Structure 1
Amino acid sequence: MGRIWKSCLQSVLKLVNSFIGMVGMAMIVYALWLIRVWQREMGKLPFDSGSPAPWFIYASLGIGIFLCVITCSGHIAAETGNGHCLSCYMVFVFLLLLLEAAVAADVFLNHDWEKDFPDDPSGKFDEFKDFVKSNFEFCKWIGLLIVATQGISILLSMILRALGSDQVRDYDSDDDYAVARLPLLRNQAQVPPCVVGEPHFIPNSDSWNVRIHDKTNK
């Protein structure tokens, strides 16, 4: 029964983790599109050292790659059920949650939060900010869904790690019982082996001497 529950939790973790991967791939595609637009507007490569770096494009690309790496590690951890892999996956997701919480706290608590970010020469950061303001409800629910997905993935990883450690304890207890039973087997009386075959009779020396003596007297 425990194996069935564990396989179900692994499948759910893979499903939840796939949503994080989809968000990462969407951000990578969005960043590549921004790079293409920036290249067309500038008339040269966006990685040219002569032009200021469009940090918003690089940040979107980096976050998307990081989310895809988290998704790959989550699928490996869910498939193997290894405690170390699950711990690394939980650390990655927890660090991502801390980063998101820090950015959200800075935006909502600091009225001059825009000054904390450098100027974006591409202007895509301002366009993204205007899009969020005009579609605040939609973006809010998307953000809450992403955060909830990350929290559920951490919870499922903790449950899978706990189930794995319980199975290890069961195996250890079985070994202890086996070792405890060995002395009882050793103290049992050794039964001599039974040999199956024709019986062998040992001749009696006294009866043999009597027969010889009778024959000599005759």
Structure 2
Amino acid sequence: MASILKSCMQFTLKSVNLIMAMVGIAMILYGFWMLRVWHRDMSGSSYEDLDYTAPWFIYTFLATGVTLCLLTCLGHIAADSANRFCLLCYMVIISVLLLIETGITADILLNEDWEKDIPDDPTGRFRDFKQFVETNIDIFKWIFLIIFLGQGLSVLLAMALRAFIPTNQCSNYDSDKEFTQARQPLINNHAQKPAYVIGEPPFANKNETWNARNRSNYFFSISLFTFC
């Protein structure tokens, strides 16, 4: 029963973990599209109009998408191998990501001048993305809620799966209880007797056989003479 429950939890963790993979792939594709549009706009501008400020919003978007994809790979490996250390690393990273997302959300909701805290975007993609989010605010609320709940559920599933793994489980060779009988004490270590006995060959030497026969005849003659 425990193995079945463990397998179900592993499958559920992998399935929930795919939410971050889909979000990360979408962010990477959208980031590459923004980068392509920015390069196209910059190629049509003159030398004096070029702004060499780094497009931080595009790079941040791409880095966030790559990070989510890497977290998905880590979560899949941790769920498949059921390793306590991998599950712990996965839980810690997801928890830190949840704290960062909660802090950003609280700053946007509570601070009316939150846009002043970020640098200017030379590409204008941040402004376009903000307008797109405000236009479809209801859809993005559901998307953010699904992402937040998926990450929280991933942490809970990783904690539950980690509880099913024994603490002393590290490798297949940790326990030597099966080989205790093969060990010998260091003190008074007497050599074991061999299973076979080394004896004389089945055919003894002819001289030895002749001498033994003469001795037996001699003792027989003496005993017979004495008796008579």
Same fold per superposition (TM over 0.5): yes
Shift in Å at residue 151 of structure 1?
0.3
Residue 175 of structure 1: CA displacement? 9.3
Tell me how far apart the structure 1 counterparts of residues 105 and 19 of structure 2 sit (CA, whole Å).
21
Within 5 Å, which residues of 2 pair with 1:47-196? 51-165=52-166, 168=169
For 2:40 and 2:114, how far apart are their aligned partners in 1?
30
Residue correspondences, number: 182
- What residue is the counterpart of 1:36 in the other structure? 36
Q: Is the Cα contact below 8 Å between 2:51 and 2:122 reproduced in 1? A: no
Paired residues of 2:35 and 2:58 also in contact (CA < 8 A): yes
Q: Provide the residue aligned with 2:12 in structure 1.
A: 12
Alpha-carbon distance in structure 1 between the residues aligned to 2:43 and 2:55: 15
Cα deviations by residue, 1:28-79 (Å, 9 ceiling, x for unpaired): 01000000000101118xxxx9611111101100100110110111011011
Which amino acid in the other structure matches residue 117 of structure 1?
Answer: I
Moved more, 4-13 or 144-153: 4-13
In the superposition, the TM-score normalised over structure 1's length comes to: 0.74
Structure 2 segments unaligned to the other structure (5+ residues)? 45-49, 170-174, 181-222
Q: Which has the larger radius of gyration?
A: 2
2:117 alignment partner AA:
D
Classify the secondary structure of the residue corresponding to 1:22. Answer: helix
Tell me the TM-score normalized by structure 2. 0.71
Which residue identity lines up with residue 153 of structure 1 in the other structure? S
Dislocated runs of 4+, deviation >3 Å: 213-218
Distance in 1 between the 2:85 and 2:129 partners?
A: 38
Q: Which has the higher helix share?
A: 1
